[in-house]
Amino acid sequence: MSLFQVGWSPIMKNKSEVLALKYRPQTFKDLIGHEEVTSTIFNSLKNKKSSNAYLFTGIRGIGKTTFARIVAKALNCEREVDNLCNDNFCANCESIINSNHIDVLEIDAASRTGVDDVRELIEFSRYAPTVARFKVFIIDEVHMLSKQAFNALLKTLEEPPEYLKFIFATTEVKKIPITVISRCQRYDLSRLQSEKLFEYIKKVVAKEKKKLEENAIKLIVKMSEGSVRDALSLLDRAILSNNGELLTYEQVQKIFGYTDKSSYIDLLKLILEGNEADVIKRYREIYRAGVEPNSFLNEFLEILYYAKNIDYLKNESTNFSLNENDHKIILYLSKKLNPSEILLFWEFTLKTIKEIHIVSNQNLSIEMFLIQLLYLHGKDSKYKKIINKENTNNNFNNTEDIKKNDVVDQIKNIQQVEQKTESINNKEIKNLSDLIEMCNNKKELKLKYEIENNVNLVSFLNNRIEIAFNEKLSKNFVKELSEKLFEWTDIRWIISFSKQKGEISRKDEQKNFKKKEINEFKNSKTFKELEKNFPDIDLIDLKEKHD
């Protein structure tokens, strides 16, 4: 297949039953959101000052490819950009929509990544457009091109013929070389605001003559995460799931296996009550509803965010996440939680997200995580639970009476954990060996590897570490090490780079020591005797007998 036969499916507006294609914008006026981007491009085209290359970046389904196609149409429409075809399409616009225009080529970089594909493209660009004013190359998912392909494109991209325009679309702009980005007019398309997307989906529902509750539409908007295509696809699925009857919020929840915020709020309430059995029971209900462990943690983070910032949030500003009742409960719970405790929960949840993939059964990790939160909360409020029965007098009605012996045992366990943690944290880190040992004890294997292999120590004194610059070091090494040292010692450490050469790394030191041992043994009488009997013998490694 030739490179220039690859394109998007030939579907005309309003001829598809798929909503995401049926309502795809055809002109700048049809676009929702991104008003600044739209006006900038429109004015540049109107004033005949279009860029050599455009780069559209943003999340999936936000309108990158749609923008690219509209720009391609605006450049070549027979009626000019002011009267861009919307219904009665001119020959150029119709061909562009149907993906069979000889001068407008859309290429999927995910399947055409090689330098040979780009060379073919460059060769084709040497010829002037056949029927249109401009020859336009639309490259979707451009970040998938190889390094060699990008390099081959650079010269043509910087100084293309007057008739040639490039339009790139990508979800991962960081993977594109800066040399390419600098030659493009870049536009970052942000997630669509919930209110705008809600109004848009509401209009689509009306045009389709379907019946959905407003809360059901809000739930679809929430799940789309600001992506127009996702919102339309979810709406499509929801509509197909019923027979023209009114689609309620509860029905949409069941269709998508969505667990609303009230379940997570109730779970937080049970954690604050210290009711372990009910906490695990409630989590298992959420899990059985189809919520994956990673999604659960992210939803739980959102609840913690609301608990910390609920005083500054209006009910309508929370991305349709909280209904009025949930808002009131979160407001109540926030008063029962110490702000420092919420931040501790937040940090602990983030830590669990990072480590969840270590365990094969992630569901068990979540249950242990929730039990640990119970103890984290209990550490601050253990005496409060013994002295008074505040939980009985407020809205936390699920708390059972705590037996005296159980409370005493719980306090003893907490104190033992605190003492153990304190003894570890108070260990002095006087040199690099102590630091490596601490990393090993704390299971920070990535840091340990970096220190042993890529750290060339200049000085280690008074909570200050100075190391020689090494390109092999991870870019986040200093930040991660600083955070861990503060966590382990409760002291802010200063970690800086030096122009001095520094000591060799521990790994190189071990290699040199091993090399010295091998050389010494090669000069020994024992090895000389072996060489007489085995002339081709070579000594690769030495090990102690017990190893």
**Residue in this structure with the two tokens 């197909």, named with its chain if needed:** 240
The reported pLDDT for the residue numbered 3 is 37
Q: Report if residue 154 sits inside a domain.
A: yes
Sign of CA dihedral 235, 241, 244, 248: negative
Given 404, 423, 442, the domain boundary residue is 423
Given 232, 256, 280, the domain boundary residue is 256
Nearest to 240 by CA among 251, 225, 229, 224: 251
Side-chain-side CA neighbours of residue 182 (13 Å): 5
The reported pLDDT for the residue numbered 10 is 33
361: domain CATH number is 1.20.272.10
Give me 214's structure tokens. Answer: 């407003």
| Amino acid identity, position 145 | L
The reported pLDDT for the residue numbered 243 is 72
Q: Report if residue 295 sits inside a domain.
A: yes
Nearest to 257 by CA among 237, 227, 228: 237
Q: Is 236 in the same domain as 269?
A: no
Q: Is 38 in the same domain as 101?
A: yes
The reported pLDDT for the residue numbered 425 is 45
Q: Report if residue 547 sits inside a domain.
A: no
Taking the C-alpha atoms of residue 418 and residue 314, their distance in angstroms, rounded to an integer, is 39
DSSP per-residue codes, 504-525: PPHHHHHHHHHHHHHHHHHTSH
Which DSSP helix (H) or strand (E) runs through 55? strand 53-57
The reported pLDDT for the residue numbered 16 is 60
The reported pLDDT for the residue numbered 392 is 39
Q: Report if residue 503 sits inside a domain.
A: no
Q: Is 311 in the same domain as 331?
A: yes
Q: Are 413 and 372 in contact (CB under 8 A)?
A: no
Sheet (strand 464-468) strand order: 457-461, 464-468, 494-498
With a cut of 50, list the residues of the chain below it in pLDDT.
1-14, 316-318, 380-412, 414-426
Output 107-110 pairs: Cβ under 8 A, ≥24 positions apart. 107/3, 107/4, 107/6, 107/7, 107/137, 107/138, 107/139, 107/140, 108/6, 108/140, 108/141, 109/139, 109/140, 109/141, 109/142, 109/143, 109/144, 109/145, 110/140, 110/141, 110/144
Given 226, 256, 286, the domain boundary residue is 256
**Which residues lie closer than 8 Å to 135 by C-beta, 6 or more apart?**
103, 104, 125, 127, 128, 129, 163, 164, 165
The reported pLDDT for the residue numbered 531 is 78
The reported pLDDT for the residue numbered 163 is 92
Q: Report if residue 507 sits inside a domain.
A: no
What secondary structure letter does DSSP report for 248?
Answer: P
Which DSSP helix (H) or strand (E) runs through 460? strand 457-461
Q: Is 282 in the same domain as 414?
A: yes
The reported pLDDT for the residue numbered 383 is 33
Cα separations in angstroms, 438 against 69, 354, 449: 56, 20, 13
Q: Is 217 in the same domain as 331?
A: no
Taking the C-alpha atoms of residue 334 and residue 93, their distance in angstroms, rounded to an integer, is 56
Dihedral pair phi/psi, residue 89, rounded to 5°? -75, 140
Q: Is 275 in the same domain as 403?
A: yes
The reported pLDDT for the residue numbered 414 is 46
Q: What is the pLDDT of residues 396-423, one digit of tens each?
A: 444 344 344 444 444 445 444 444 444 4
Q: Report if residue 353 sits inside a domain.
A: yes
Number of domains in the chain: 4
Q: What is the pLDDT of residues 189-231, one digit of tens each?
A: 988 888 889 999 999 999 988 888 888 898 888 888 888 999 9
490: domain CATH number is 3.30.300
Dihedral pair phi/psi, residue 102, rounded to 5°? -70, -25
Q: Is 152 in the same domain as 280?
A: no
Q: Is 28 in the same domain as 154?
A: yes
Q: Is 78 in the same domain as 14?
A: yes
The reported pLDDT for the residue numbered 319 is 53
Domain enclosing residue 440, as ranges: 432-498
CB atoms within 10 A of CB 205: 21
Q: Are 76 and 103 in contact (CB under 8 A)?
A: yes
Q: Is 123 in the same domain as 152?
A: yes
184: domain CATH number is 3.40.50.300
Which DSSP helix (H) or strand (E) runs through 495? strand 494-498
Q: Is 265 in the same domain as 346?
A: yes
**Residue in this structure with the two tokens 């690099």, named with its chain if needed:** 432
